[in-house]
Amino acid sequence: MNTPRAIIADDEAPLRTDLQRQLARCWPELQIVGIAENGAEALALIEQQQPDFAFLDIKMPGMTGLEVAARVPASCRVVFVTAFNQYAVQAFENAAVDYVLKPANEARLAKTVARLRAQLNTATAPLDTRALLEQINQALAPKPARLQWIKAARGEEVQLLAVDDVVYFQSSDKYTSVFTRDHEWIIRTPLKELEQQLDPAVFWRIHRNAIVRVADIARVTRDFQGRCLLELRSRNETLSVSRAYAQHFKQM
């Protein structure tokens, strides 16, 4: 049997050396054939060295450990290295993926090593890495929260706009206009997508092309055709409510 070979990828120097030393203690036969400082380097190393194991830090600049893992050939087993994060640990447990906690704890590392060794001796069927990664990615992805800030442009200026300052959104052909008390901004997110991320108690859809902050409605009037018109507190425009959304204003 050949000596097992591995690479280590971590963007923090002290942690790289630490893992290397700990592995040398727990698994003396394991040969570290390369060390990478970021995802791209790790991938190049794996292609070049064809190691049996790749110890990949999750959070690396440029390309994360998860992204690297998605491109690693089946002959190389990935072991994720992660700092304390209860979600990550839970995700790895669920996906039955090997992982090492940072900083490497000798007792725990020994357990992982024992498992990896066992796998080395048996010809394991290649795992469906893509499905596993998807599972992990999902667990690690931040929950889709309520939209609080929007990246918006006005002329040359690009700002992060607080949703709390928005009076209404109006869609045009190619983009969406965002109106604050004093300015008009442009964003690329379509209304349909925005609607899902806004608090329905704070913003109401009033038209195929408009979403308005309820608290900013000053007065509801009707025109001669019986259509609802909204006057706003912080802007002078009058917005019209299409029939499909008029039920919001029925009782008024």
Partner 1 sequence: MNITPARAQCGAAFWRAFAKELLLVSLINAVIAVFLAVVTDIELRTNFVFSQAIGLSIFLTAHTLAWIRPPKEGQLNVHFFAVPLGSVAGIFIGSALAGVSLIDLFANHPQVIIVSFAAALVFGTIVSYYFYARGALMQSQAALQAENVKRLEQTQRLTHTELKLLQAQIEPHFLFNTLSNVASLIETDPRDARRMLEHFTDYLRAGLQRTRAHDTTLADELAVITAYLEIQAMRMGKRLRYHIDVPDDLRALALPPLLIQPLVENAVKHGLEPKLDGGTVQVSARRAHDTLTIDVIDTGLGLRAEHPTGIGLNNIRERLRALYGERGSIVILDRAPSGVEVRLTFPIVAERRP
Instruction: Catalog residues that contact partner 1 under the rule CB under 8 A.
Output: 11-15, 17-18, 21, 38, 40, 59, 61-62, 83-85, 102-103, 142, 148-149, 151, 157-160, 162, 164, 188-189, 219
Cβ atoms 159, 149 nearer than 8 A: no
CB of 115 to partner 1, least distance (A): 22
Cβ atoms 192, 198 nearer than 8 A: no
CB of 120 to partner 1, least distance (A): 26
Q: Is the dihedral of CA 237, 241, 242, 245 positive or negative?
A: positive
AA letter at 217: I
Maximum Cα–Cα distance across the chain: 89
CB of 167 to partner 1, least distance (A): 16
Complex with partner 1: residue 40 or 120, whichever CB lies closer: 40
Complex with partner 1: residue 189 or 242, whichever CB lies closer: 189
Q: CA-CA distance, 236 to 232, in Å (whole number)?
A: 7
Residue 241 CB neighbour total at 10 angstroms: 23
CB of 251 to partner 1, least distance (A): 8
CB of 128 to partner 1, least distance (A): 28
Complex with partner 1: residue 15 or 33, whichever CB lies closer: 15
Complex with partner 1: residue 19 or 76, whichever CB lies closer: 19
AA letter at 93: E
Which tokens sit at 62?
Answer: 């440029």
Complex with partner 1: residue 46 or 101, whichever CB lies closer: 101
Q: CA-CA distance, 134 to 118, in Å (whole number)?
A: 26
